Amino acid sequence: MTSAACGKVTTASPDAPTPDAGMKPSPQSCKALFDSNPALSSGAYALRTADGAAYQAYCDMTTDGGGWTLVMKIDGTAASSQLGYDGALWTNTATLRADKVDTSHVEAKYRAFNEVAFSQVRIVMVEAQSSAMTLAISASSALHLMRGPFVQIARPRQDWLALLPGAIVQPNCNQGGINNSSANPYVRVRIGMIANQEANCETPDSFIGIGGGGGAGNACFGNGAFVAPSAGSVSGGTCNPTPGPNHAAFAYLYVR
Ligand SMILES: [Ca+2]
């Protein structure tokens, strides 16, 4: 006996795959996939949008409970990085190297950034070693979150600094958040903490996080055409009472 399933003719026998297997809609997130089968290994999987369109995403199925969807990779070590604070990719629907679905150190923005709803964000920062931080933030997509206003994230200063061992920022302000913005000549960061030498958050000259930017024309950096790393930390130059180097890192942005 034969039956048509998903356009394919299937012969029913004990060895044949069940006709339903090919018709099961792919999940909308790595978390949904993980929940359906926690034994899956990390790698590229087919997800679908709310409208049913299929696309590929990288799923981390083992770290910190598994079920993490990789939405962006930010190369703070590259002068050509497109993911600094003012990069259009943070707030538009375009993707970047979305066909390269893996964890290689190549900057990318996946369709999952625009599509996957979540209640947690995980930042992984890689320099000499790899460190991670998980934030409790809910949104219908990373795109929706980044298109929105500033969202404060109340975490201790040392939690942010732990992302990048050896990172130095100024002593005050210590304001963590999403779209953590101030205009030039001060600094800004898409997801991270800003800091200041004054006892307020009005003139921050340092940050740690991803989507870094600002600082052009800042006297603390010599009034020049300063370019902040898109992932890493900026110490505040001569406006840090305990100055130190800036750090450029490679970063992963996951959601779950
Ligand atoms: Ca300042």
Cis amide leading into 25 (omega within 30): no
40 plus 140 within the same structural domain: yes
Q: Terminal CA-to-CA distance of the chain, rounded, Å? A: 43
111 plus 175 within the same structural domain: no
54 plus 87 within the same structural domain: yes
Helices and strands (H, E) in the chain, number of each type: 4, 15
Ligand 1 centroid to residue 224 C-alpha, Å: 16
Range of the domain at 177: 152-248
71 plus 96 within the same structural domain: yes
* Residue 22: pLDDT over 80: no
126 plus 209 within the same structural domain: no
46 plus 93 within the same structural domain: yes
- Give me the CATH number covering residue 81: 3.90.215.10
Tokens 């969807």 identify what position? 69
50 plus 163 within the same structural domain: no
Ligand 1 centroid to residue 229 C-alpha, Å: 18
Listed range (7-16, 96-105, 184-193, 245-254) with the worst mean pLDDT = 7-16
Q: Are 44 and 54 in contact (CB under 8 A)?
A: no
* Identity of the amino acid at 12: A
Q: Which residues fall within 8 angstroms of residue 144, CB to CB, at 6 or more apart?
A: none
Ligand 1 centroid to residue 239 C-alpha, Å: 7
Query: What average pLDDT does this structure show over 11-33?
Result: 64
User: Is residue 236 a part of any domain in this protein?
Assistant: yes
User: Is residue 2 a part of any domain in this protein?
Assistant: no
**Percent of the chain's residues with pLDDT above 70:** 90
Ligand 1 centroid to residue 184 C-alpha, Å: 12
Give dist(CA 153, CA 171) in Å, integer.
18
User: Is residue 193 a part of any domain in this protein?
Assistant: yes
Helix (H, G, I), strand (E, B) or coil at 31: helix
User: Is residue 202 a part of any domain in this protein?
Assistant: yes
Give the chain's radius of gyration (CA, Å): 21
Ligand 1 centroid to residue 160 C-alpha, Å: 19
The tally of domains found in the chain comes to 2
118 plus 185 within the same structural domain: no
93 plus 181 within the same structural domain: no
In this prediction, residue 26 has a pLDDT band, given cuts at 50, 70 and 90, of confident
At which of 90, 120, 149 does a domain end? 149
131 plus 160 within the same structural domain: no
135 plus 106 within the same structural domain: yes
41 plus 106 within the same structural domain: yes
pLDDT tens by residue, 106-137: 999 999 999 999 999 999 999 999 999 999 99
